[in-house]
Amino acid sequence: MKKFRFTLERVLDYKEQVEQNLRNEHGQAVREVKEQEQKIGELEVGFQSFREQIEDVKKTEISSARLLSYSGYLSTLIGKIASEKEELARRKKEEERRRELVIEAKKETSSIQMLKDKKRREYDALAAKEQEREVEEFVSNRSIAGRQEHKEG
């Protein structure tokens, strides 16, 4: 019997490659989300630290111009944090989209792999029957040959 050959092997290889690429892209999106969260965390820590410094400075004599400057900087930090949170939301949305693409690709790959497995089991069962038939034929021929030798002898 000829060797097992899955007709959709090239399609399966392609789908697996696409799935792997999508997994890599999703991994990159997850890293970007984590980096963005870290960036926001650092900004928030910096904001809190600067705010505490301002509270300490307020206890001493400070000019209103300098206090206004500090206030402006805090406002800038608040705006920066808000902007980075918007970016985080965008990145999370992108990560979710990529995760959905990976799930879809995995479904496609799995369905073709299951078909390949089914075809392989069918092939193996057919090959086993073929081998069994050949053994029976061999035993039968040998038995006939043995009887003929016995009659001749």
What pLDDT does 13 receive?
Answer: 97
**What's residue 77's pLDDT?**
95
| pLDDT attached to residue 62 | 78
Q: Which of 106, 105, 88, 103 is nearest to 30 (CA)?
A: 88
User: pLDDT of the chain along its 153 residues, tens only?
Assistant: 789 999 999 999 999 999 999 999 999 999 999 999 999 999 999 999 999 988 888 888 778 888 889 889 999 999 999 999 999 999 999 999 999 999 999 999 999 999 999 999 999 999 999 999 988 888 888 777 767 776 665
- Of 70, 82, 71, 72, which is closest to residue 44 (Cα–Cα)? 82
Q: Give the model confidence (pLDDT) of 10-26 as tens digits.
A: 999 999 999 999 999 99
| Domain layout of the chain by residue ranges | 9-152
Per-residue b or e along 121-131, where b marks 16 or more CB atoms closer than 10 Å to that residue's CB:
eebeeeeeeee
CB contact at 8 A, 91 and 36: yes
For 9-152, the fitting CATH number among 1.10.287, 1.20.80, 1.10.10, 2.40.128 is 1.10.287
pLDDT at 150: 65
Count Cα neighbours of 59 within 13 Å in the Cβ-side half-sphere: 5
What is the pLDDT, as a whole number, of residue 16? 97
pLDDT of residue 117: 97
Q: How confident is the model at residue 153, as a pLDDT? A: 58
Q: Distance (Å, rounded) from C-alpha 117 to C-alpha 105?
A: 18
Q: What percent of the chain has pLDDT over 90?
A: 71
